[in-house]
């Protein structure tokens, strides 16, 4: 492994791509510590270090921003607006025929969809930054801790406008940095930045467990983490390969087809998206409740059952939502009828299954059977931080579990595969055996 890494850095072209990627990561992390204009940075640091801090529903956004949200830096919104915009554009393909037609056009259509995603990202960034500024001004960002309500120095309209503009520009810059990695670096730029944000929280989370729980619990957490990483790698690499054969056909004077291949159906086809959806849906009630009287009956009920992650009702609702969104997302992203039509168009068939509608029904049958254990696996991984919260009183950013573990393993595997592919092109052994 060490020798493969050394060979990667001794290859000029690949070394330049790796160094460029590392340079963008450094810039991204530096931006996470630059305070936004008009923010009392000293008071913000005191609030972040407060033992009474409970980020609650902001934990997910803070995770994807690499801790920049609670720091109120210029990159406070992180990559979350782009993730939301990408998911929205992908979902709109189901209801807007124009988007589906662009998706099928190839590179030109994908370029237009990417442009729409950029515009929507900026729009969502304006909305999110306005909401964040209002939340900071009301003191709800830090759970209404005493002394954390006057963090904005300039409360004039133009001061707030500059703050919103800065946060929006920060999101635009992050989006541009991610695209630069995709074009000139190694791996998918947005995924690399998300990976960086999540990985940056590991040292502080492990350090907090070590200082608060002791060396015994710390070693148990490390051992459990290694087992969970191995489990996630095993499941993420698992797939059902449906064999496909292509009949021979004449095109002009040349013979084509006659080959055998397969359709890979992963156990976890939805990735980390269902966990993000479920977390966002469960966060909405607590967000709405912040703007009403805490003594109101329904507000008190939400604060009791849906604000803290250690309540059985919250845990059960979280698991059910993860399973539901796993089925929902796979249903809108994998179309068995489209796959069957494409196979029939090019003379492909599954052995023992007739082409056309029977093939689509067979793919739907296989997909539903595989998605069941995949959704249970996602629910289990998503509940790991909540179980840790109950057992060892760890915070909700428990490193080995939920979105953090799925992102770390998923992006890590994909990036290593891309580096390995580039090394294979240069006749090197590569990172993988």
As averages over each run of 10 residues, the pLDDT of the chain (433 residues) reads: 68 83 90 84 75 58 70 84 84 82 80 89 89 78 68 79 90 90 85 84 77 79 84 87 78 66 85 80 72 70 69 83 88 84 81 85 89 88 74 57 78 82 66 55
CB-based contact 62:25 (threshold 8 Å):
no
CB-based contact 275:403 (threshold 8 Å):
yes
Confidence (pLDDT) at 353: 83
Confidence (pLDDT) at 342: 83
Q: What angle do CA 275, 280, 285 make, to 5 degrees?
A: 135
The DSSP string of 176-200 is HHHHHHHHHSSS-HHHHHHHHHHHT
Confidence (pLDDT) at 168: 92
Confidence (pLDDT) at 409: 84
Question: How far is C-alpha 100 from the chain's CA centre?
Answer: 23
CATH 1.10.3370.10 fits 1-184, yes or no: yes
Q: Which fold has domain 208-432?
A: Preprotein translocase SecY subunit (1.10.3370)
Write out the two tokens for 287. 């967000």
Helices 157-184 and 189-199, interaxial angle, to 10°?
Answer: 110
Q: What are the Cα distances from residue 133, in Å, to 136, 218, 236, 386, 418?
A: 5, 37, 38, 29, 40
Write out the two tokens for 54. 């409970």
Confidence (pLDDT) at 83: 84
Write out the two tokens for 306. 């849906």
Q: What is the dihedral of CA 337, 340, 344, 348, to 10 degrees?
A: 170
186 DSSP 8-state letter = S
Q: Domain map of the chain by residue range?
A: 1-184, 208-432
Confidence (pLDDT) at 228: 84
Contacts of 275 (CB under 8 A, 6+ apart): 322, 378, 381, 382, 402, 403, 406
Confidence (pLDDT) at 122: 92
Confidence (pLDDT) at 293: 67
Q: How many angstroms separate the first and last alpha carbons of the chain?
A: 10
CB-based contact 209:221 (threshold 8 Å):
yes
Question: How far is C-alpha 221 from the chain's CA centre?
Answer: 23
Confidence (pLDDT) at 405: 81
Q: What are the Cα distances from residue 188, in Å, to 121, 191, 193, 373?
A: 18, 5, 9, 28
Confidence (pLDDT) at 99: 83
Question: How far is C-alpha 141 from the chain's CA centre?
Answer: 22
Residue 430, phi then psi, degrees to nearest 5: 90, 180
Confidence (pLDDT) at 246: 79
Distance separating alpha carbons of residues 246 and 230, to the nearest angstrom: 37
Confidence (pLDDT) at 165: 92
> Do 1-184 and 208-432 show the same overall fold?
yes
142 DSSP 8-state letter = G
pTM for the model stands at 0.79
Contacts of 156 (CB under 8 A, 6+ apart): none
């Amino acid at each position: 492994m060490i020798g493969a890494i050394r060979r990667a850095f001794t290859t000029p072209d690949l070394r330049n791509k790796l160094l460029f990627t590392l340079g963008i990561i450094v810039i991204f992390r530096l931006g996470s510590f630059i305070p936004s204009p008009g923010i009392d940075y000293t008071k913000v640091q005191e609030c972040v270090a407060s033992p009474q801090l409970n980020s609650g529903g902001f934990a997910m956004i803070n995770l994807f921003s690499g801790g920049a949200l609670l720091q109120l830096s210029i990159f406070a919104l992180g990559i979350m607006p782009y993730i939301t915009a990408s998911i929205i554009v992908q979902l709109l393909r189901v209801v807007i025929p124009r988007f589906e037609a662009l998706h099928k056009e190839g590179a030109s259509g994908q370029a237009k969809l990417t442009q729409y995603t950029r515009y929507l990202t900026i729009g969502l960034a304006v909305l999110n930054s306005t909401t964040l500024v209002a939340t900071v001004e009301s003191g709800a960002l830090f759970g209404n801790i005493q002394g954390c309500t006057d963090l904005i120095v300039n409360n004039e309209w133009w001061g707030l406008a500059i703050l919103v503009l800065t946060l929006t520009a920060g999101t635009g810059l992050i989006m541009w940095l991610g695209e630069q990695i995709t074009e000139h670096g190694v791996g998918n730029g947005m995924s690399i930045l998300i990976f960086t944000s999540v990985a940056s929280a590991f040292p502080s989370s492990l350090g907090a467990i070590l200082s608060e729980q002791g060396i015994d619990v710390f070693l148990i957490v490390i051992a459990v983490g290694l087992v969970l990483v191995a489990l996630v790698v095993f499941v993420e690499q698992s797939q059902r390969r449906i064999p496909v054969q292509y009949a021979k056909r004449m095109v002009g004077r040349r013979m084509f087809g006659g080959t055998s291949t397969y359709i890979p159906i992963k156990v976890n086809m939805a990735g980390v998206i269902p966990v993000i959806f479920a977390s966002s849906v469960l966060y909405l009630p607590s967000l709405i409740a912040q703007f009403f009287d805490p003594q109101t009956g329904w507000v008190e009920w939400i604060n009791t059952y849906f604000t803290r992650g250690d309540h059985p009702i919250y845990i059960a609702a979280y698991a059910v939502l993860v399973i539901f969104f796993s089925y929902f997302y796979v249903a809108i992203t994998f179309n068995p009828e489209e796959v069957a039509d494409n196979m029939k168009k090019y003379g492909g068939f599954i052995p023992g299954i007739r082409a056309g509608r029977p093939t689509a029904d067979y793919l739907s049958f296989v997909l539903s059977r595989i998605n069941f254990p995949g959704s249970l696996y996602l629910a289990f991984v998503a509940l790991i931080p909540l179980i840790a919260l109950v057992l060892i009183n760890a915070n909700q950013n428990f490193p080995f579990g939920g979105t953090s573990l799925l992102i770390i393993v998923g992006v890590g595997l994909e990036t290593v595969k891309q580096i390995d592919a580039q090394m294979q092109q240069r006749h090197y052994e590569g990172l993988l055996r």
